[in-house]
Structure 1
Amino acid sequence: MTMISKQIGMIMSLMACTCLPLMAQEVKGKVVDEAKQPVEAATVIMQTPDSTFIDAVITDSLGCFVFKEEPTCYRLIFQHLLFKTFEKENCGPDAGIITLKGQDYALNEVVVTGERPLVKADKGTLVYDAQVLSERTTASNAYESLLRLPGVMELNDELSLTGTKDMNILINGKPSSMNQDQLITLLKSTPVSQVKKIEVMYNAPAKYRIRGAAINIVLDNGKSADPFWKGEVSGNYQQFVHANGEGNINLSYTGKKLSADINYAAGYRHKDSGMGTDSHHTLHDKVYSIQQVNETEAKHWLHNVRFGLDYQLSEGNSLHTAYTGSFQTKGNTTTRSKGNYSDSESFRTSQEQMHNVNLDYTAAFGLNVGLDYTHFNSPSTQDFTNYQNTGEQHFLVEERQTIDRWNVYAGQNHDLPQGWGLNYGINFTFAREKSGQLYQLDAGTDLPVTNTDTHMQEETYNFYAGTEKSFNNQLSISLSLAGEYYRLMDYQQWAVYPTFQLSYQPSSEHIFQLGFSSDKAYPNYWELQDITSYINGYMKLKGNPYLRPSTDYTASLTYIFKGKYIANVYYSHVKDFFSQLPYQSPDELALVYQSINLDYEQNAGLSLIIPFSVGTWWTAQCMFDGSYNQDVCDKYYNISLNRSNWRGIVQMNNTFRLSSRPNLQLEYNLLYVSPTLQGIYDVSSVWKMDLGLKWTFANDKAELKIQGNDLFNTFVPDGKIDYKGQKLNMDILNINRNLSISFTYKFNGYKEKKHKKVDTSRFGY
């Protein structure tokens, strides 16, 4: 090929992504309505000028259409049920932008109603229509849409999916790199109108670079031949004991090749918490009765900023880069404790900053490569005073943590003959963590503390390969295998993680899915330090340098009837399960909180999802889950542990359409969780009721929402320990009830772009 022909080929490939044609032997165009919005699923018929049929196509979600051949001159006929038929004669490859006029229909005697399925199966994935969820609930952002998914709950400020141990969040097929708090903040700022669909995978293939269960949020990030700016502003006021608030502004630019988005959010958090403990502590064959009441007040400012650029190099080839910053400033936490053993005060000041840069390239032949760098820094200072019968103890401690982490990844997908697919890749992560504590003890203060200065280096090498095949419209299978070498200082381990998914659909009304997956969970870096932090004069927190990752094996069978009724049978076994649990020390009067590894945790259960509706004014969804849970540890400090129980969960979400004009919806949700266990803990039952009202107006550009959460203040559990000499009652102060008022306004038809998140789940104290 000559140099000139190569240049011509490059120019043609760069222009192929637009709706307007720049290639020979193809006819392209775009169909819009009178408001210049794309018209999807319009039929476009091509004829010769003498009405001889040539071809017919359907417009895509952007209103674009393409004919693979280009007659010298031709006639185009545009048809759509909601628009008047339009004809156009043209010559050449550029059909231009065609505007269709609306068509009014009057159905006097016959009214046809139908119900779109809530869920469908696609190659082992449960696919939920986000717009159906939006219509049936008052969900106004991506996070609230997740909470309306069958089996998804918010427990202890974390998202969970029944039948799984841990749940990953993907955005447009890419893993999230943020911790739970940052991810929730992001999803709450994502309009539900921009969520195209939500995919639930109980056994995610290795090509997603995650293991175990996952929920993939697919956003509608369309391109446009006409560049435009869009935006959204929102504000939220939330009243707990103290007032909280946040504001958010999003701007995005979309062009033919280049798109950009910038987001800034600022919020103020001010919350109280409290706990009363009644400890019967056995020390040297003598029982001490210790009662303490802790009250904590925490407040800080939080700023999040992000800037992203996407550039379409050519058809199927794109480059993405983004910067994400998170800054927590003016952090102040005050904890006061009173009791018959000690009175103490703790004043902690802190700040936190995270910077992340991501570079990602996707090629038309199925290659995806990327580089991700994160820097995290979190210094804090604690001023602690403890008053006991033996005298006063006072110290200052400076705590610090700095993390630098690099992630390099590459993946390749192939479409093989006879419908087979092949994927393989690598995912390498390197992290360096520096942390420590520096104590300054007053004269006369005698505490068993040690200054620490720790440097850790972590390496993870992951290799994966997988295949998938759809044998017909009824049967599909997915297999993948990941090999991993993990090294943290002197600890090294090789591991293999298989994943299997089989989907069978004998008819449109019945879907069966059988799956198996394996996963690994890692403790955060601070838990691995040999540190001691004092909560009050009796309670303290200790790190565990011997803490190890856990391995999870999960199997599940899911049955879906008529696209909405769901039954799921599941079993999970977690080897080396780790959890932070309290323990009454046999050597001193101290209640020690420390994360430790159990031998294993396992659970088996059944969940049922039953949705129903009454006319168009009441939509409801009920979820029932029952499971058997067991925790086993042969050496739990100086005792053995083998405990089990049955747990039940009942959830019912209701949406009432009060009015169409004005658009008013009322939501009424209930959730009950029966008593359960965690190690030697017995956790009490909890329940809550939420009530919300949403008003949408100004041509759906504005939304006002009032939400009352946990109206009866009943969703914080109490804890109890009475096992082999360990005896402790924990009464958690329940101040979870809150009222929120939020307002959102979209201008210029704002469409928000989404992006890869930054993983900070293992950072922090």
Structure 2
Amino acid sequence: MTQKLILVKSVILLITLTFSQLANAQERVNVTGTVVDKDAGVPLEYATVTFIDKTGEHSPQGGVTDFDGNFNIEVYKGTYKINVEFISFETKTYNNQNLNDNLNLGTISLGLNSDSLDEVVVRSETTQVEVRLDKKIYNIGKDLTTQGGTVTDALQNIPSVSVDVEGGISLRGNDNVRILINGKPSAMAGFDDTSIFQQLPADAIERVEVISSPSARYDAEGTAGILNIILKKEKTLGINGSISSTLGIPTNNTISTTLNLRTDKFNIFNNTGVYYRNSPGNAHYDNDYKSGSFDRITEDREYDRLRKGINTNIGMEYYLTDRSSITGTFFGKWGNDEDESNSYNNRYEDGSLNSSTLRNQLEGEDEETYQGSVNYINNFNDEGHKLTVDLQYAYDNEDKPNNIIETQSFPIDNLIDRQRVFENERKNEFLFQADYVLPKGESQFEAGFRINTEANKTQYTLEDFDLQNNNFSINESQSYNFNYDENVYAAYSQYGNKLGEKFSFLLGLRLEHTQLKGKAFSDYLDQDELVQEIGFDFDPNFDKKYTGLFPTVNLIYEIGDNENITLGYNRRINRPRGWFINPFPSRSSRTNIYQGNPDLNPAFSNTFDLGYLKKWDKLTLNSSIYYQRETDSFERIQQETDQTTIEGIDIIRSISINLATQQRIGAELGAMYNPSQKLRLNASVNFFRFETDGEYDGIDYGTESTSIFGRFSAKYTLPAKIDIQTNGFYFGPRKNAQTKNEGMFSMNLALSKEVIKDKLTATFNVRDVFNSRKRRGYTVSENFTSDSEFQWRERQFTLSLIYRFNQSREDRMREKRQQGGAGMDEEGEF
């Protein structure tokens, strides 16, 4: 039997037929047994056992095996044909079985099906999509362009997801995305700071869930939706794992390991990575001014970002009983980074060069992050009745010393300014949640609660260099403390059911109470003096509370076994994070600063999503149209501060504000096409339009923009079994209230060869082949215009080696099979 037919049967049995057995009270019998691999003797998890009634009185019945290959299936009395199936294995059939009493089929041994073996291996390497009522699941296959790369590199290849040149993550062109790790907020996501994804290895990911229409089970945070990154937690018997190493130009040296030890009572897993990377970048700014001492200033910046450190994620799952387990995990990250930038400025007056300066900034970052978590799960039965409880604590400490020197090189050489900054950020996060799932017949009820508290403390001291006395002294007006707490208390309930054979629904309601509390204070100024020094009016000691209901509706209509239509609605919230709130200016430039806005309020959105999925033998088509209306949406604007530098240059401030509304409408289309075992194609395109309406300080910042985002991937097997893969993307022109950005195209290229069969693989990678991943924009304000270009990371070449041990071909196939199906029991899917 082909792999496709077996997969279709498995899905039908899991989602529809096993539930139908619970709806009737007719007399039944139990059929038990164990399914194992004939050659290796190991149990086969998720093997399908199907009972076909010879009289046609009953619909097909059945179930799947558990982790130990055991099954216990209740069926109506009668005469049946019994099929036992597993992907890539031969089917075993029992004809004319009279089931009037309980029956034990004993141990059932299945042998490999050589005719389908190659097809299975090819498919397991392909990123595939699965559709649930509230999400799309992308199981990460052997994506060559991410070998030796980071989580950021892997996310760039997920449909609907885009990553900008600074590592910022967007969903369908909207950057208000909530990032979860294994279904929970996590220090591994950097407390919503996505820069950590540029250090974590890509091969630690098992799958990515794109949740554009989240159910009530999830946080209401993130108006664009949720990205849930599921990390690997291997469950293959014995000791197994892999070691990978990477060398790159510019410097990109990493070593990472994945280890797993599985016995009958426990499973120990670990992912550890050591990295040493240098990411050079550059930027160019050309500003024209209508007022001030200079009519034009150009700036060329060169960046060197050195990243070095180690991160590890280790855990153990202990099986209390056959149905319950407790898992403890620890995540640690220790980093020592250095960011050096050199800014070359030319200042013009009446078209002639007036002066040239050089600004050197060396910023360090010593960081330590710890997170401990405990998870308890109790599966009361095989039908999905379960309880999960999670407890998590995370701590992050960052020291950021910053040394700034600015000198003049024309018309004379002299020291203009010198500053030192000492900044410390500490973050504590606590999470406690419980989720309960109760299936009943074809329906399913869920309920749960979550408590999530986060405390942030920032200490900032600025020292100015006294040119006359040749020493440093504290700048009392620019040294401060800022504390910011975010506490969220939530409870939810949702109910799902299947009406007939084709229609399913999931209705939910989530209640969230949010407290946003902040205090800005100084050791040298009182709060009134501090507000005046900052330069705009705000409440330095605020305590805001919001209570809201967040309904969700998700519908799915199954046109056929491989075709469905989905419709979703949800209400979401976007809470301002710490860097949006902190009112104290950044020091990256004396003339261009960024400040947070403590008066920011959360934004709320209502979103509708209509999707269509169709699968053929070699082609999968996935499409959707969506509409979103957001109130009090965030917008970053630039404005004059009415302050100047000692040379008379106007200081420009970037600040985030609440606009009145933003409306977004779009459509996306994705296709996966595998015409042969040698060629695999994947493409997606997202077209969207948004309109914003609102004003700030009497200035209208309303705008409208239309853009497009497209992605294409192709993988082909060359002679000598060398795989070649290209990934390209295009982000079309777009604009906001003040800035127009040009389109951007980038492409990656990779070659891979299995050096030692089933053991050692080598991959050569070129990221950003044409060195074109640059953001180009043009900004217009009342008193200035700015033409800019920014490149976060220049073109990079890497060579990676991956060595696997104690993973036979069958083990790796089974491992990938488990990874592909793990989404069905991770969170009580309906």
Matched, 1:272 2:284: no
Q: Aligned pair in 2 of structure 1 residues 217, 578: CA closer, same or farther (>3 Å)?
A: closer
Q: Distance in 1 between matches of 2:668 and 2:547?
A: 34
- Give the match for residue 377 of structure 2: 362
Matched, 1:254 2:262: yes
Q: Distance in 2 between matches of 1:370 and 1:42?
A: 30
- Give the match for residue 567 of structure 2: 514
- Give the match for residue 466 of structure 1: 494
Task: Find the residue that maps to 1:206 and give its secondary structure.
Answer: coil
| Displacement after TM superposition at 1:165 (Å) | 5.1
| Displacement after TM superposition at 1:256 (Å) | 1.1
Task: Find the residue that maps to 2:320 and give its secondary structure.
Answer: strand
Q: Which moved more, 1:564-573 or 1:382-391?
A: 382-391
| Displacement after TM superposition at 1:470 (Å) | 1.5
| Displacement after TM superposition at 1:427 (Å) | 1.0
| Displacement after TM superposition at 1:353 (Å) | 0.9
Q: Which moved more, 1:25-34 or 1:136-145?
A: 136-145
- Give the match for residue 397 of structure 2: 377
| Displacement after TM superposition at 1:748 (Å) | 1.0
Letter in 2 for 1:395: Q
Q: Aligned pair in 2 of structure 1 residues 86, 485: CA closer, same or farther (>3 Å)?
A: closer
| Displacement after TM superposition at 1:591 (Å) | 2.5
Q: Aligned pair in 2 of structure 1 residues 673, 400: CA closer, same or farther (>3 Å)?
A: same
Matched, 1:302 2:302: no
- Give the match for residue 251 of structure 2: 243
Q: Distance in 2 between matches of 1:677 and 1:161?
A: 17
| Displacement after TM superposition at 1:626 (Å) | 2.0
Gaps of 5+ in 1: 1-24, 47-54, 70-75, 108-112, 757-765
- Which of the pair has the greater relative contact order for Cα pairs under 8 Å at 6+ separation? 1
Q: Distance in 2 between matches of 1:270 and 1:693?
A: 23
Q: Distance in 2 between matches of 1:566 and 1:262?
A: 35
1:390-412 C-alpha deviation (Å, 9 max, x unpaired) = 97222222111111221111222
1:317-357 C-alpha deviation (Å, 9 max, x unpaired) = 22111111111115353444433264322222221111111
Instruction: Give the conservation status (yes or no) of the 8 Å contact 1:663–1:697.
Output: no
- Give the match for residue 687 of structure 2: 626
Task: Find the residue that maps to 2:775 and give its secondary structure.
Answer: coil
1:119-160 C-alpha deviation (Å, 9 max, x unpaired) = 5544454455x4xx7379777699577554443443333444
Q: Distance in 1 between matches of 2:344 and 2:116?
A: 71
Q: Distance in 2 between matches of 1:121 and 1:403?
A: 36
Instruction: Give the conservation status (yes or no) of the 8 Å contact 1:531–1:542.
Output: yes
- Give the match for residue 54 of structure 2: none
- Give the match for residue 478 of structure 1: 506
Task: Find the residue that maps to 1:379 and give its secondary structure.
Answer: strand
- Give the match for residue 215 of structure 2: 205
Q: Aligned pair in 2 of structure 1 residues 314, 189: CA closer, same or farther (>3 Å)?
A: same
Q: TM-score, normalised by structure 1?
A: 0.80
Gaps of 5+ in 2: 1-29, 52-59, 75-81, 95-101, 348-354, 381-385, 518-542, 645-649, 824-830
Q: Distance in 2 between matches of 1:681 and 1:82?
A: 58
Q: Distance in 2 between matches of 1:77 and 1:622?
A: 37
1:463-511 C-alpha deviation (Å, 9 max, x unpaired) = 2121111213311111111121111221222222221111112334542
Task: Find the residue that maps to 2:273 and give its secondary structure.
Answer: strand
1:435-514 matches, cutoff 5 A: 435-443=458-466, 449-489=477-517, 490-508=543-561, 510-514=563-567
The number of residues matched between the two structures is: 693
- Give the match for residue 767 of structure 2: 709
1:234 to 232, 244, 254: 244
Instruction: Give the conservation status (yes or no) of the 8 Å contact 2:33–2:108.
Output: no
Q: Aligned pair in 2 of structure 1 residues 200, 524: CA closer, same or farther (>3 Å)?
A: closer
| Displacement after TM superposition at 1:442 (Å) | 2.4
1:441-470 C-alpha deviation (Å, 9 max, x unpaired) = 223699894210223333211121211112
Q: Aligned pair in 2 of structure 1 residues 211, 477: CA closer, same or farther (>3 Å)?
A: farther
Instruction: Give the conservation status (yes or no) of the 8 Å contact 2:156–2:163.
Output: yes
Instruction: Give the conservation status (yes or no) of the 8 Å contact 2:235–2:262.
Output: yes
Q: Aligned pair in 2 of structure 1 residues 648, 67: CA closer, same or farther (>3 Å)?
A: closer
Q: Distance in 1 between matches of 2:107 and 2:266?
A: 21
Q: Aligned pair in 2 of structure 1 residues 504, 211: CA closer, same or farther (>3 Å)?
A: farther
Task: Find the residue that maps to 2:694 and give its secondary structure.
Answer: strand
- Give the match for residue 664 of structure 2: 603
Instruction: Give the conservation status (yes or no) of the 8 Å contact 2:32–2:106.
Output: no
Matched, 1:408 2:432: yes
Letter in 1 for 2:503: L
Q: Aligned pair in 2 of structure 1 residues 198, 721: CA closer, same or farther (>3 Å)?
A: closer
- Give the match for residue 610 of structure 2: 557
Q: Aligned pair in 2 of structure 1 residues 79, 570: CA closer, same or farther (>3 Å)?
A: closer
Task: Find the residue that maps to 1:182 and give its secondary structure.
Answer: helix
1:28-47 matches, cutoff 5 A: 28-39=33-44
Percent sequence identity is 18
| Displacement after TM superposition at 1:163 (Å) | 7.0
| Displacement after TM superposition at 1:234 (Å) | 0.4
Instruction: Give the conservation status (yes or no) of the 8 Å contact 1:161–1:167.
Output: yes
| Displacement after TM superposition at 1:658 (Å) | 1.7
Q: TM-score, normalised by structure 2?
A: 0.74
Q: Which moved more, 1:254-263 or 1:532-541?
A: 532-541
| Displacement after TM superposition at 1:726 (Å) | 3.9
Task: Find the residue that maps to 2:314 and give its secondary structure.
Answer: strand
- Give the match for residue 7 of structure 1: none
Q: Distance in 2 between matches of 1:335 and 1:510?
A: 55
- Give the match for residue 586 of structure 2: 533
Q: Aligned pair in 2 of structure 1 residues 348, 621: CA closer, same or farther (>3 Å)?
A: closer
| Displacement after TM superposition at 1:520 (Å) | 2.2
Matched, 1:653 2:653: no
Task: Find the residue that maps to 2:379 and give its secondary structure.
Answer: coil
Q: Distance in 2 between matches of 1:441 and 1:734?
A: 29
Q: Aligned pair in 2 of structure 1 residues 305, 578: CA closer, same or farther (>3 Å)?
A: same
Matched, 1:329 2:336: yes
1:149-228 matches, cutoff 5 A: 149-156=158-165, 157-162=167-172, 166-168=176-178, 173=183, 177=187, 178-179=189-190, 180-183=194-197, 185-186=199-200, 188-190=202-204, 195=206, 199-209=209-219, 213-215=225-227, 228=238
Instruction: Give the conservation status (yes or no) of the 8 Å contact 1:175–1:209.
Output: no
Task: Find the residue that maps to 1:34 and give its secondary structure.
Answer: coil
| Displacement after TM superposition at 1:96 (Å) | 7.9
Matched, 1:428 2:458: no
Instruction: Give the conservation status (yes or no) of the 8 Å contact 1:43–1:56.
Output: no
Instruction: Give the conservation status (yes or no) of the 8 Å contact 1:542–1:594.
Output: yes
Q: Which moved more, 1:299-308 or 1:357-366?
A: 357-366
Q: Distance in 1 between matches of 2:127 and 2:595?
A: 51
